[in-house]
Structure 1
Amino acid sequence: MNAGIPVRWVLSQPELGLVLRGGASGLGRVITLVLTSELTEPQQWLSGGELVLTTGMGLPLSRADRSRYLEDLGAAGVAGVGFGIGLSHETVPADLVEAADRLGLPLFEVPLPTPFAAITKKVMQRLAEQEYEKVLRASRAQPRMTRAAVQGVRAVIKELSVALSATVLVVGGDSVVTEAHPRSPAAEILDRIGEFIAAHGESAGSGVIQVSSGQYIVLQAISAGQTVHGHLAIVTATALGPVDQVLLGHASSLLALDFEKPARLRMAQNHLNSQAIAMLLQQPGDPDSMWQHLTAAADRTGRIRALVLWCPGPEAAAVALDAIDARLRLLNRQLFAHVMGDHAAVLLRGSDTDELAEQLLADLPGDVRATVRAGLSSPHPLRRFSAAVDNAELAASAAAPGARPLELAALAGHALLAFPEAQRVLSAVSEAMLQPLIDYDDRHGTDLIGSLRAYLEAHGQWETAATALGVHRHTLRSRVARIESILGCKLDQALVRAELLLAVVSRR
């Protein structure tokens, strides 16, 4: 706390010979500075906490003005008034004594043999001793807090509370008090802390609040880099001094380190998991220790699923993994992921649903999520996780940007046409195989292509195909014979029918 000496301490120094004449109720007022003034209106030069020494040479003549003189000093916040006798006044004027009692402003008599300089020296020495004592206490408190950090947050704030003789709180980002020593303060204190954080945001740095009770609340952000873990709040009767601020900063740093430990440990664990995946993707035959490391990624049956994200760039992939990691941390689960350029692969449990995979992407920034293609594999044994990654990679290539993760199984019936590479091959095959039939239809105004499709989709069943076309089966038989003649093939062969069906579907 700020250094200061109560007026009663000055009066208790026998060598000064000071005698209290009035204002006994204010003996607890704190002196922070001693000055001598013979001005009639010295209050305009004062800021509070001063012990004013005067011989009364500039004292007003009337009782009313002398009373106003003390009132103005009291309003300026002075700690007390020392009145030197034996020069301009033989005794302290009685009206001043009455005014001092009424104001609760200590007024004491300074005998002629006691120089004002002796009082000033005595007070300044005591103030210097206080500062030294505070530095000494701080030098002892800092190592105690450092040792207490091993035991955690509660031990650190206990040491800080003892060192500052104050109530110490740890306030989370949601303005909830998570730790308090020696006890949680009044509701008004908690309300003011919540208002400060709400007004300045969770990342607010430091601030000082004075409440109606006269107490001070000093807030200091507990931060490491750009991450704010909460606030340290000190509730005191007086404002903190420079040495107290050093202790507060030291405690804040210790708490930040304590809060950072889980985050640092998780970062290291994520890096190790990524390295294990990378090694096994490159050399699947690596020692069992690597496979053993990945068992935490699998479900109870030893199965995993792969979630692959196609991102617009490596930076977006890193942002996406950070968002997924935050979600998994809430589920008390590790992140098993590997980044390959602008692609990111995440291993999930085999029992995880596609709904969970979608939830993991929910916190991606909107501009990133809108560009990400996500593919999800089916469950695979852990030892075949590379196949699961390939499966999810293929699904991601067919997924729409910003859509929910696509499972390859969901493409049944049109999987080949979902992939650009397959589309290019099938289009080329379609053009090569069907062009004679297309030319024939163009020249004769027929629709042999439509008849061929109906026949193939009916699996060669004449009645079914003819009904779909709305013609007699003999008409369809005649058309199929003409198609076989034009294409130079026989449609009673399964492989021929399969290739032609792909060609017809691809053309459409």
Structure 2
Amino acid sequence: MTESEQPSVPLSVLLADPELGLRQVAGPAEDRRISTVGTTEIEDPTPYLVGGELLLTAGVRLPRSADGIDTYLRRVVAAGVAALGFGVAPVHEEVPPELAAACDRHGLPLLRLPPATPFVAVGQATYAAIAEARNRELRDISRAQSALASAAARPDALQAVLTQLSAHTRAWAVLFDVQGNELFGAGPRPPAPAPQRLRDLAVRTLARTSRRHTAHRPAPPAAAADHHGGIHLTVHTLPGADGGTTPLALAQATTAAPTLVHRHVTSTATVLLALLTSPRHALGTDTHSVGALVRLMLGATPAQVAPALAAAGPPSGEHWIVVHGRHIPGRSTPAPPAGDDPAQLATLGTALGTPYLYIDGPGLRALIPSAPDTRPSAPAQAADLGWILGFSAPVSAPDLPPADRQAERALQRAIAADAPAVVHSPDPLSLDAIVAPADAQELARTRFAPLDQAGSPGATVLLDTLRTWLNLHGSWDRAAAALRVHRNTVRHRLARIAELLDVDLRDPGVRMELWFALHWLPDDHRTHP
């Protein structure tokens, strides 16, 4: 047990007890922690001391000379005594001045015990105060754990847990990934350079944990601590990560030294965060989701199962926002995440405010329960993880197919503009508003029907290449980078498209026609990232 975990009470609490009547007559003014009370009348009590004591004596065997008293003080200070209590009468009428002078020299608080205060009463008061302090700590831990458990049940569980952790530890709490991205944070941000030092400590700790990971056994959780400029920095890696899970670390910065309450609450938060980013939680095994999936597989329509899914989330008015995403290598992560990476799913799900999302290689699709007038915004965590997003307008369940197309178009605009996200904005003056949907879809089917005869790499790849190239304003290099192929591959595919469709892709009018036709393609002919 560390010193801060040892049951103890501040010396000031005993000095403030009117029934004891204690008075400090020498030694430093700063407070000391008292963990036990001992009584001794021998010249060298050090073999019987453990440290942290309020040592009581009536001076029966106190040396007579100043040198002897000085030697006595050196011994008890070296043994770790926290304070010395001297009982006046019947041996000494007052505290010997030589003892007071020695306490001043050696930095040991000296208390005067009045004749009416028994040594036993001091011990009883000390242990009662320690018990009350420990009960208060246990109550604080219980309240904090209850608040953390409630936070873990919220739709924004990761953010909510960090918010409660910060409130109960008075710390800046941050969830870092292995690249040092701040996925979520709560509490007052400390002044520079503490945030950067905390980030560096988290990255080093996660790297050390990753090196200890083996194929058969995940690395055990690790912890690290640092202190800089009066700020205490601590890092805990989340337990339970395996080779397919993004390593995460909980980091904290606080001006107060970690206490027993701080450590217990942090341990609880670490376990909850690990559970929230575990495969079982992140992949969504709640009864609402499972029931909706079963009904869909047995023939129910999205409009029929949507109310059940909406009931599992926050109040939404049974409207939905469709989200499309594309992972861009080289931003924060070197490669697209695994589709079943629970840490990615939990982080993105919390950031977007929904458990209904799917990652397939570099692509993401999600449904967010929403009120009809909600204006979605891009969460910073998605950009930190390397995602570009496109949002549809809020729609009811029967209108999800057109919302899916809105999200796709918004994503393509975001990619073209190199923006973190784009939100679809309805425009009553757009061409879509004056063309009947059925006619537009039939035109698009007919326009791209020749691509079905393309052979390898297939119509799907050719359509995706054409869409990306047009979206990037005809840039070969940017299209190649977005598709992760060589620029000559893009040229070859577009030449094949031009040949099959019998068009000249250099003609702006042709490009415009194909652009609208791509937007009008029905779902069974469209591709998704």
Q: TM-score, normalised by structure 1?
A: 0.50
Q: Which has the larger radius of gyration?
A: 1
Q: TM-score, normalised by structure 2?
A: 0.48
